């Protein structure tokens, strides 16, 4: 490290390596633990990769893509990627273990349902909040976890602005409002405090919010994921068994393109897909009652047919949905007779019916 040129750091190399995906998968080689270490000497960078396979073609492809990515960093002259096959792993090393080996069910929680989206701005948190509250209204003991570490919004949407309490045995008591137990990193931060964390810290925070919260007995835990297919999503599927995931999109092609990526991620980690919710599907004029499809028609339906999963519902574009979120009064409670609220309740009823098909984790197997 003493001969390292100014401006070249391990963190910079790690950031670049997060753009390198494991061949055939959507997760990167840093988050998945393939990168075992590195050494920087002058303008030379050595990266050690540990595989959980003996396939030579994967090793060769990873060596090439890793060296190309690091070589593009300003100040780097030469790169050597040392790729170790499964049989070359050191006994007991993290890279020689199944990344899902530490997965375990949350005590007392029957079902874990992730609400995800491929891109931001599609109303994922609004959908997660209203589904959770609707499930609670139907009689299910329901929890809501805000796993959007960089942009937690559940405290605002659920109308809670307090500091959490930690017991003597380091268990975090969830807040309860509108009949729902909830947890969020937002409760631990100031209102305007940014989260400037790298991947390992984000992954640790997700694990702590999941495992250290005293959820008690729950029929369903709804998890509001951040947009995309990054550290949080991978940490979740490696930490707890998912009953399934709900994908949220808007009708236009740009949002649907990212839904395909999200669906592929859950498929590759063997997490079942429950269905798709199409948000902001259409606008109903309050004066004449005319329905206008602001973005386009049928995108969610086409994608659900392509994936072989249900279209759970189409949520209309309604200013009241936004207003109730800002006020901490979820639509299904504060305006239960509106078309959007009725659709949320119908979606929750469908989810309840799907969950009732099995009693343990992951009873739904829609995508093979």
Buried b (16+ CB within 10 A) or exposed e, 115-152: bbbbbeebbbbbbbbbbbbbbbbeebbbbbbbbbbeeb
Sign for the pseudo-dihedral over CA of 251, 113, 351, 361: positive
Distances (CA, A) of 22 to 7, 25, 213, 239, 334: 27, 6, 32, 20, 46
Residue 247: strand pairing partners? 116, 276
325 is in an annotated binding site: no
| Cα distance between residue 146 and residue 160, in whole Å | 13
Does residue 124 have a known ligand-binding role? yes
Alpha-carbon distance of 55 to 59, in angstroms, equals 7
On whether 262 is known to bind a ligand per the annotation, the reply is: no
- Confirm whether residue 230 is marked as ligand binding: no
Residue 120 annotated in ligand binding: yes
Tell me how far apart the alpha carbons of residues 230 and 144 are, in angstroms, rounded to a whole number: 20
Is the C-alpha dihedral spanning 143, 227, 153, 128 positive or negative?
Answer: negative
Residue 159 labeled ligand binder: no
Residue 122, annotated ligand binder? yes
DSSP-assigned beta bridge partners for residue 136: none
Which H or E run contains 57? helix 56-71
Mode of pairing for the β-strands spanning 273-278 and 244-249: parallel
Residue 308 assigned as binding residue: no
By C-alpha distance, which of 30, 50, 58 is closest to 96?
50
Q: Tokens 């990526």, residue?
A: 261
Residues placed in the known binding site: 118-125
Binding residues for ATP: 118-125
């Amino acid at each position: 490290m003493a001969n390292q040129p100014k401006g070249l750091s391990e963190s910079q190399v790690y950031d670049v390596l997060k753009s390198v995906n494991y061949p055939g998968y959507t997760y990167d080689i840093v988050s998945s633990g393939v990168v075992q270490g590195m050494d920087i000497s002058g303008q030379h960078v050595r990266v050690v990769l540990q595989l959980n396979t003996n396939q030579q073609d994967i090793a060769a492809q990873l060596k090439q893509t890793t060296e190309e990515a690091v070589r593009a960093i300003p100040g780097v002259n030469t790169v050597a990627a040392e790729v170790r096959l499964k049989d070359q792993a050191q006994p007991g090393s993290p890279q020689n273990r199944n990344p899902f080996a530490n997965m375990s069910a949350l005590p007392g929680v029957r079902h874990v349902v992730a609400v995800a989206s491929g891109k931001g701005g599609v109303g994922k948190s609004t959908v997660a909040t209203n589904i959770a509250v609707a499930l609670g209204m139907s009689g299910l003991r329901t929890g809501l976890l805000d796993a959007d570490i960089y942009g937690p919004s559940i405290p605002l949407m659920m109308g809670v602005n307090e500091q959490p309490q930690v017991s003597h045995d380091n268990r975090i008591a969830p807040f309860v409002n509108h009949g729902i137990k909830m947890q969020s990193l937002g409760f631990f931060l100031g209102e305007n405090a940014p989260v400037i964390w790298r991947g390992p810290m984000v992954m640790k925070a997700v694990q702590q919010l999941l495992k250290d919260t005293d959820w008690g007995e729950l029929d369903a835990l709804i998890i509001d994921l951040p947009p995309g297919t990054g550290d949080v999503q991978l940490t979740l599927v490696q930490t707890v068994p998912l009953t399934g995931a709900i994908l949220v999109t808007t009708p236009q092609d740009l949002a649907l393109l990212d839904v395909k990526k999200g669906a592929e991620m859950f498929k590759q980690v063997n997490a079942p897909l429950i269905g798709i919710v199409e948000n902001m599907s259409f606008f109903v004029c309050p004066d004449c009652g005319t329905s206008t499809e602001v973005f386009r028609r049928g995108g969610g339906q086409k994608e659900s047919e392509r994936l072989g999963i249900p279209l759970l519902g189409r949520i209309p574009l309604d200013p009241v949905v936004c207003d109730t979120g800002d006020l901490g009064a979820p639509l299904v409670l504060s305006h239960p007779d509106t078309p959007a609220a009725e659709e949320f309740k119908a979606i929750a009823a469908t989810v309840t019916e799907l969950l009732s098909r099995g009693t343990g984790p992951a009873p739904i197997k829609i995508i093979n």
